[in-house]
């Protein structure tokens, strides 16, 4: 019979200890069943395991926007920074995009520029892509190449990595901007539309959660 002092100094086992003991007993009985009894069915132990584990206090918390920011911190060199596919004299569009460096455009750039030198039928002679200022994008369109049967087309677009394709004809060789050129000339850069912000936020959440 323990004394009152011993009883006073005795603490009941913690929930973690109880969980450990329970799991140990379950594994012992499962792996070493009595010879006179059939092995316990796994279906019998699953609800008990779930009950024991579920009774432990929850220590997790909801995934928040702060977690996304912590896992994927913003490393843009300046507000509104963007990227373009960049290459110089690549043999075709695939090779240009494949080896394009993953770097941000300089602050003075606003657009993605693409030059496509091709033969009749659209086969590429060379592809050049770069970050560009407004002045470099005022000469978009197509013209005859240096040799007979060749054509050179230039296009510009606004937006991060918007210059994925190459222009193949006059219809493709345009200056595509999000804002009117009058706003671009004044140096103002508008905010992203709410719809685009929602899409970017959804993509960030899906990426962070590993869906």
Domain borders along the chain are 12-55, 63-78+193-211, 87-188
204/211 Cα distance (integer angstroms): 11
117/50 Cα distance (integer angstroms): 65
Encode pLDDT of 125-139 as tens digits: 999 999 999 999 999
pLDDT at position 33 is 53
152 touches 116 (CB < 8 A): yes
201/65 Cα distance (integer angstroms): 9
Residues 6+ apart with CB under 8 A from 176: 155, 156, 157, 158, 162
C-alpha separations of 206 from 15, 27, 67, 152, 192 in Å: 35, 38, 13, 41, 20
- For the ranges 14-23, 63-72, 73-82, the maximum mean pLDDT occurs at 73-82
pLDDT at position 200 is 46
90 touches 96 (CB < 8 A): yes
Domain 87-188 grouped into CATH 1.10.8 = no
């Amino acid at each position: 019979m323990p004394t009152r002092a011993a009883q006073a100094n005795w603490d009941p086992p913690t929930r973690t200890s109880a969980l450990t003991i329970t799991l140990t007993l379950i594994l012992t009985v499962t792996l070493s069943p009595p010879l006179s009894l059939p092995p316990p069915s796994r279906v019998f132990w699953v609800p008990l395991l779930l009950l024991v584990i579920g009774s432990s206090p929850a220590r997790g918390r909801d995934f928040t926007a702060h977690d996304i920011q912590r896992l994927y911190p913003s490393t843009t060199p300046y507000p509104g920074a963007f990227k373009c596919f960049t290459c110089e004299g690549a043999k075709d569009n695939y090779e240009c995009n494949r080896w394009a460096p993953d770097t941000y455009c300089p602050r003075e750039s606003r657009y993605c520029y693409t030059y496509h030198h091709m033969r009749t039928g659209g086969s590429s002679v060379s592809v050049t892509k770069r970050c560009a200022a407004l002045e470099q994008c005022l000469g978009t369109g197509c013209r005859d190449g240096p040799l007979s049967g060749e054509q050179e087309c230039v296009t510009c677009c606004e937006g991060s990595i918007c210059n994925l394709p190459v222009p193949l004809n006059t219809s493709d060789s345009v200056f595509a901007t999000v804002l009117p050129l009058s706003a671009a000339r004044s140096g103002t850069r508008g905010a992203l539309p709410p719809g685009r912000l929602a899409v970017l936020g959804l993509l960030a959440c899906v990426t962070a959660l590993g869906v």
